[in-house]
Amino acid sequence: MPPADDWSFDAATFAGKARLFPLPDLVMFPHVLQPLHIFEPRYRAMFEAAMADDQLIAMAVLAPGWEQNYEGRPALESYACLGRVATHQRLPDGRYNLLLQGVRRVKLLRELPPSHAFREAHVAVCDDVYPPDLTPARPQLRRRLVDCFKQLLPKLPAAHEQLDQLLGSEIPLGMLTDLVAYSLDLGHELKVRLLGEVHVDRRAQLLLERLDRMASEPFGKPAQANEFPPRFSQN
């Protein structure tokens, strides 16, 4: 089952080489909009190269231990989120604010030798996998996920009506899992795992297991959600 909205991304024409924007504390998912603030010279160069070409940037995740070599080429997690620049603003001092639209999961296959200030890698686009034999159980899985999400999500007055409309529509389960994973504070490790899980039903089950535990925690705090609109992530 293809995604309902791929942000006009055509995998058939994608060259398979991605500019990498690695951050330690941001796990981005397809189908979301992420504000970014770019100020380091190497990432300004990355952004300018993207805008002169396909407008694509892969949001990679720094692997544990990155603190020892942040200015170099620390290890990365295996999966990233490929995004397209939706809009941007150049500030007077040369920094940039931009909105990045998540388009697809990608697996990092091989990092390229350094030829720019920023990092690049050959990547493989990862489609969501919907096993046919699980089709009959999928509507119930989707309903359970929506119910748990709405129960745990704090009230966001500026977006609550839009959220209800979105969750009430028949968006694909894969898109729903990505929106839930992005919106809630599930912990960095689980988010990395969810980004790397292409099997949609397994991704939904992983989410439900975590949401069920969150709902059953006595005297627990409400689930934390990204602010609306979310803040700019710093590089």
pLDDT tens, position by position, 119-168 = 999 999 999 999 999 999 999 999 899 888 877 766 555 445 656 666 66
Query: End-to-end distance of the chain based on CA atoms, in angstroms?
Result: 35
pLDDT of the residue at 1: 37
Q: Is residue 34 a contact partner of residue 230, using CB atoms and an 8 Å limit?
A: yes
pTM: 0.85
Q: Is residue 147 a contact partner of residue 207, using CB atoms and an 8 Å limit?
A: no
pLDDT of the residue at 229: 42
Q: Helix or strand or coil: residue 92?
A: coil
Question: Position 204: which residue type?
Answer: A
Span 224-231, mean pLDDT? 48
Span 57-74, mean pLDDT? 84
Give the integer Cα–Cα distance in Å for 81 and 83. Answer: 6
Highest mean pLDDT among 86-95, 147-156, 161-170, 211-220: 86-95
Burial class (CB in 10 A: 0-12, 13-18, 19+), 100: buried
Phi-psi region of 229 (alpha: psi -120 to 50; beta: other; left: phi over 0): beta
Q: What is the CA radius of gyration of the chain?
A: 18
Domains of the chain: 11-127 (2.30.130.40), 132-216 (no CATH)
Looking at every residue in the chain, the average pLDDT score rounds to 85
